[in-house]
């Protein structure tokens, strides 16, 4: 009887760099695969642009699904926003999908990494509040009446600062912060359209589900014909230290891929995909409809 849920684990450290870049603070991804000889690393790559990375990742997923493999593909940026964002931004439809479609229509991301993320944040702030809220963080020369370099006002129940999963991980940054140390907001703006493209790729669409939006906060149904699960990860959930001469991003993607593979082998990953037992029914519904969840929040040791 099959114990592990997945055969392969692809972990991606994303970047919102505006120019091609390799090395530290750029895109890294690692693929670990299970075989008769155990677990082995198939890829550790550092593409210089998002366009290149998206193409390589799509190719890997197509090759793996063609070989009959089941893949967990984890990306290290928020793939949803706090409850209420979709409605406030005027995105119509099921909230998570409305946000994915809405951002895909707004974001322009060129082959050389040039992108309009600050313009999009400005436009969304104007829609939502008429001022520099809820998105914030930018270089000083990009400031304008609807986008500030610093947070300008408190969040509230209508637009919370954090998703439920981020309350479990105090080290995590809110998705509204676009710039400076630790920010993830820009990665989400330019990353969600890439997730949408993978989810809708004609060669992958019938084989792919987005956790927890299409699976619920639960392991994927083994009776479904899925082969790829797209999920959100947060490498800093583990205290991973790079040795001298190593690039932390590279170490993190491989360490997380190995860690998830070990948890899957021990039967623990199913519990991670189900989230903490203490979550209320209301919270679970919001997580599945709009906010998403960080894999391992509240369940990793």
Q: Are 176 and 136 in contact (CB under 8 A)?
A: yes
**pLDDT tens digits for range 109-127:** 999 999 999 999 999 999 9
The model's pLDDT over 85-99, given as tens digits with 9 standing for 90+, comes to 999 999 999 999 999
Distances (CA, A) of 270 to 75, 207, 286: 18, 19, 20
pLDDT at 79 over 90: yes
Can you give the pLDDT at residue 292? 98
Residue 80: its pLDDT value, please? 98
Instruction: Find residue 36's DSSP bridge partners.
Output: none
CB count within 10 Å of CB 9 equals 27
Strand partners, 12: 29, 75
The pLDDT tens digits for 117-161 are 999 999 999 999 999 999 999 999 999 999 999 999 999 999 999
pLDDT at site 1: 47
Specify the DSSP class assigned to residue 7. Answer: S
The mean pLDDT value of the chain amounts to: 96
- Quote the distance between the C-alpha of residue 135 and its chain's center: 18
With left for phi above 0 and alpha for psi between -120 and 50, is residue 180 left, alpha or beta? Answer: left
What is the average pLDDT across 31-44? 92
**Which percentage of the chain shows pLDDT scores above 90?**
92
End-to-end CA gap in the chain: 26
Rounded (10°) CA dihedral 45, 227, 75, 169: -140
Model confidence pLDDT, tens digit, residues 254-287: 999 999 999 999 999 999 999 999 999 999 999 9
Measure the CA–CA gap between 116 and 16, rounded to whole angstroms: 11
């Amino acid at each position: 009887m099959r114990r592990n849920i997945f055969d392969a684990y692809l972990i991606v450290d994303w970047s919102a760099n505006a120019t091609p870049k390799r090395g530290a603070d750029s895109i890294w991804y690692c693929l670990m695969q299970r075989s008769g000889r155990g677990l082995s690393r198939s890829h550790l790559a550092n593409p210089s642009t998002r366009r290149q990375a998206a193409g390589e990742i799509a190719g890997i997923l197509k090759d793996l699904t063609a070989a009959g493999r089941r893949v967990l593909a984890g990306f290290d940026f928020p793939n949803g926003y706090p409850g209420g964002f979709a409605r406030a931004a005027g995105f119509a439809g099921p909230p998570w999908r409305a946000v994915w479609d809405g951002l895909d229509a707004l974001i322009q991301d060129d082959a050389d990494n040039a992108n309009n993320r600050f313009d999009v944040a400005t436009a969304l702030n104007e829609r939502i509040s008429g001022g520099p809220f809820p998105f914030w963080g930018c270089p000083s020369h990009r400031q304008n009446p609807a986008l500030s370099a610093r947070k300008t006002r408190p969040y509230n129940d209508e637009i919370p600062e954090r998703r439920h999963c981020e309350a479990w991980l105090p080290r995590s940054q809110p998705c509204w912060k676009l710039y400076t140390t630790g920010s993830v907001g820009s990665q989400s703006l330019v990353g969600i359209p890439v997730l949408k493209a993978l989810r809708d790729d004609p060669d992958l669409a019938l084989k792919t589900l987005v956790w927890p939006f299409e699976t619920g906060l639960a392991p994927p149904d083994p009776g479904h014909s899925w082969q790829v699960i797209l999920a959100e990860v947060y490498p800093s959930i583990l205290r991973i230290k790079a040795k001298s001469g190593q690039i932390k991003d590279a170490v993190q993607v491989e360490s997380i891929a190995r860690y998830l593979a070990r948890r899957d082998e021990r039967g623990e990953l199913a519990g991670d995909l189900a989230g903490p037992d203490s979550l209320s029914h209301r919270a679970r519904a919001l997580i599945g409809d709009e906010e998403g969840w960080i894999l391992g929040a509240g369940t990793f040791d």
